């Protein structure tokens, strides 16, 4: 992917990496270093209006990741539950716009007629993790969820929706993956972040952006 593809152009994808789980799609190195730097700059700029904050689970436990969102809708969690909403829960401001490059990426990968309306951004420090979960707060569970990783590599764990063994995949800076079709409700999470494995983020750590169709727009 090159910088010249903004605004709105075709996203030049590398060959897909095969996976063992049907519907779990992976494109290693989809963003080259220049594109990673450009996307990081857009996230950093968005932080001015949509700062990272630490949500809590409906049960009142703080997440180890910090979160913000881009696009018309954002995924939030608090004592009232999980949901999508158009405003930042701390500042009350609308979420910043969805970067064009993410819309281009969605068009190139998603095989879905409508654009994503939410991009959840998770920020991991060296100790942060994400427990096994399913992404099921979207109105239409047929639409894929697409993820982009930036910064330190992480051990991503994924397994079938109900029962069955999980396996791990290392997600590195610039990798794109997607939960589609039979893997749309796969259980997945982040076991750990490999601190110091990337120089992309000035203070280290990992960013993961997930593009969704909340269906609330």
- Give me the residues that bind Fe ion (CB under 5 A), please: 135
Residues 6 or more apart in contact with residue 177 via CB below 8 angstroms: 24, 25, 26, 27, 146, 147, 156, 169, 171
Binding part of the chain for ligand MD6, among 4-12, 27-35, 103-111, 171-179 by CB under 6 A, reads: 171-179
147 binds ligand MD6 (CB under 6 A): yes
Reduced to 3 states (helix: H, G, I; strand: E, B; else coil), residue 108 is: helix
Comparing CA positions, the residue from 77, 146, 105 lying closest to residue 5 is: 105
CA atoms within 13 A on the CB side of 115: 16
What dihedral angle (degrees, nearest 10) is formed by the CA atoms of 199, 13, 24, 215? Answer: 100
Q: Least Å distance between CB 178 and ligand MD6?
A: 7
Comparing CA positions, the residue from 142, 125, 126, 139 lying closest to residue 182 is: 142
Per-residue x/- track, 71-110, ligand MD6 (CB under 6 A): ----------------------------------------
Choose from ligand MD6, Fe ion, none: what does 173 bind? Cβ within 5-8 Å by kind. Answer: none
User: Cα angle at 92 between 89 and 98, to 5 degrees?
Assistant: 85
Q: Are 106 and 11 in contact (CB under 8 A)?
A: no
Q: Least Å distance between CB 128 and Fe ion?
A: 14
Binder among 105, 108, 145, 200 for ligand MD6 (CB under 6 A): 145
137 binds ligand MD6 (CB under 6 A): no
Q: Least Å distance between CB 96 and ligand MD6?
A: 20
Residues 9-38 that bind ligand MD6 (CB under 6 A): none
180 binds ligand MD6 (CB under 6 A): no
Binder among 109, 198, 208, 214 for ligand MD6 (CB under 6 A): 208
122 binds ligand MD6 (CB under 6 A): yes
Burial class (CB in 10 A: 0-12, 13-18, 19+), 119: buried
Choose from Fe ion, ligand MD6, none: what does 177 bind? Cβ within 5-8 Å by kind. Answer: ligand MD6
* CB of 94 or CB of 192, closer to Fe ion: 192
Burial class (CB in 10 A: 0-12, 13-18, 19+), 168: middle
- Residues making contact with ligand MD6 (CB under 6 A): 122, 130, 135, 145, 147, 156, 171, 177, 179, 188, 190, 208, 210
């Amino acid at each position: 992917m090159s910088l010249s593809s903004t605004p709105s152009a075709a996203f030049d994808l590398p060959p897909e990496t095969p996976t063992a789980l049907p519907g779990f799609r992976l494109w290693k190195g989809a963003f080259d270093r220049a594109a990673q730097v450009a996307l990081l700059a857009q996230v950093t700029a968005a932080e001015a209006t949509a700062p990272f904050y630490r949500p809590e689970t409906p049960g009142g436990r703080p997440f180890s990741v910090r979160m913000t969102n881009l696009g018309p809708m954002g995924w939030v969690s608090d004592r009232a539950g999980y949901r999508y909403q158009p405003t930042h829960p701390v500042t009350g401001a609308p979420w910043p716009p969805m970067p064009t490059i993410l819309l281009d990426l969605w068009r190139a990968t998603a095989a879905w007629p409508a654009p994503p309306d939410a991009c959840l951004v998770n920020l991991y420090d060296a100790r942060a993790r994400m427990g096994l979960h399913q992404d099921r707060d979207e109105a239409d569970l047929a639409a894929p969820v697409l993820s982009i990783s930036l910064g330190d590599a992480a051990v991503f764990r994924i397994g079938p929706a109900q029962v069955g063994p999980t396996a791990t995949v290392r997600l590195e800076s610039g990798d794109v993956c997607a939960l589609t079709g039979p893997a749309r409700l796969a259980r997945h999470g982040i076991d750990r972040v490999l601190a110091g494995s990337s120089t992309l983020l000035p203070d280290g750590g990992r960013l993961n952006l997930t593009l969704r169709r909340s269906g609330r727009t």
